[in-house]
Amino acid sequence: MTHEDMESIAALDALGVAAAGDLSALAQHISSCIPCRRARDEYRRAVTLLVMALEPVSPPPALRERASSSL
Amino acid sequence: MNTAGAPATALLPDVARGNVSAFEAFYDRYASTVYALLLRILANADDAQEVLQETFVKAWSSAKMFDAVRGSEVAWLISIARSRGIDRLRSRKIRNTREDEAGREVSIHGSFIEHTTGADKAIQSEECRAVRSALAELPEAQRTALELAYFEGLSQSEIAARLTEPLGTIKTRMQLGMRKLRERLQAFQ
């Protein structure tokens, strides 16, 4: 696959919908390709920032206690 | 609290050592962001709360697996939450399909876009605002394809089927949209 193919897979990886086989190929490729690794990291960061930009919603306070007590 | 501003001290190393106080601080730092995400995916408060709890319990049990080289702790947590949210959404769809064979032609899906207050925007980092702005500027068709993938976990083929568009069209829209987001982020590097 080409670098462009890998970049496309990296974009789908960031969205959480890349196929397993493609992810394996991407992982192997970026172990030796710095530009594609950077693309993977930047796509992931972009999507993370979009989630962090959502207006926060406080969950019910009881959930915090429930989570702690279930550890 | 939204923590998109200055990088905060990582809490996961202490969580991984079994420090309950660190876990509670971790929860306080990220729960409202994760809950907002899960509400977008699931559109149901009961389901979102259940998955929120599952997410943090999973974070507690898996904290030792976190590798800071591969990304931030919030990215790691969001990945857990999103994955579990999509799993719950899929199981719910299967159940709904069994209960109601009529199904739905086009479901209402989550969106990254919303109206926020000035105060909300003030606590977001410039990077957050920039990427969000880039998303808002995308043609609606591109944004919809990205949101169907992220909030419903649909593959490109599934999105094409949902929108009754050619697969090639969907691939192009998603690639163009993601490149635009990435380009905007690169301005900060």
Predicted pLDDT at A1: 86
State whether residue A58 sits within 8 Å of chain B by CB: yes
Confidence category of residue B78, pLDDT binned at 50, 70, 90: very high
pLDDT at residue B166 tops 90: yes
Read off the DSSP letter of residue B10.
Answer: P
Helix (H, G, I), strand (E, B) or coil at B4: coil
More confident residue, A21 or B185: A21
Residue contacts between A and B (CB atoms, under 8 Å): 146
Q: Which of B56, B47, B51 is nearest to B74 (CA)?
A: B56
Q: Are A13 and A7 in contact (CB under 8 A)?
A: no
Query: Which residue is closest to B85 within chain A, CA to CA?
Result: A16
The pLDDT, as a whole number, for residue B14 is: 95
Dump pLDDT digits (tens) for B9-44: 889 999 999 999 999 999 999 999 999 999 999 999
- pLDDT, greater one: B161 or B4: B161
Contact A15 B150 (CB under 8 A): yes
Q: What is the pLDDT of residue B98?
A: 60
Nearest by Cα to B33 from B52, B46, B61: B52
Q: Are A70 and B27 in contact (CB under 8 A)?
A: no
Please give the model's pTM, rounded to 2 decimal places: 0.87
- Mean pLDDT across chain B: 86
- For B103-140, letters b (16+ CB in 10 Å) and e give eeeeeebbebeeebeeeeeeebbebbbbbbebbeebee
Q: Do B127 and A50 touch (CB under 8 A)?
A: no
ipTM above 0.85, yes or no: yes
Query: What's the pLDDT score for residue B7?
Result: 58
Residues of A within 8 A of B150 (CB-CB) are: 15-17, 47
Quote the CA–CA distance of A69 and A32 in Å, as a whole number.
45
Alpha-carbon torsion angle B79, B72, B189, A26, nearest 10:
-50
pLDDT computed for residue B117 by the predictor: 45
How near does any CA of chain A get to the CA of B163, in Å? 17
Judging contacts by C-beta atoms under 8 Å, the chain A residues touching residue B52 are 59, 63, 67
User: In this complex, do B32 and A68 lie within 8 Å of one another by their Cβ atoms?
Assistant: no
CA distance to A13, B10, B32, B140, B155, per residue, from A51 (Å)? 15, 19, 11, 18, 20
**Chain B residues touching residue A47 (CB < 8 angstroms):** 150, 181
Q: So what's the pLDDT on residue B105?
A: 44
Top residue of B19, B178, B186 to mutate, by most chain A CBs within 10 Å, is B178
Packing angle, helices B167-186 and A3-14, rounded to 10: 80
Q: Mean pLDDT over residues B54-63, rounded?
A: 96
pLDDT digits (tens, 9 = 90+) for A14-46: 999 999 999 999 999 999 999 999 999 999 999
| Closest Cα in chain B, distance from residue A21 (Å) | 14
Is pLDDT above 60 for B4? no
Least-confidence region, from A47-51, A53-57, B120-124, B146-150: B120-124
Please answer yes or no on whether B39 and A57 come within 8 Å at the CB atom.
Answer: yes
Residue B178 to residue A57, Cβ atoms within 8 A: no
Structure tokens at B21: 């106080």
Name the DSSP letter for residue B88.
H
- pLDDT score for A41: 94
Cα-based distances in Å from B63 to A67, B49, B90: 15, 21, 26
**Cβ(A64)–Cβ(B27) below 8 Å:** yes
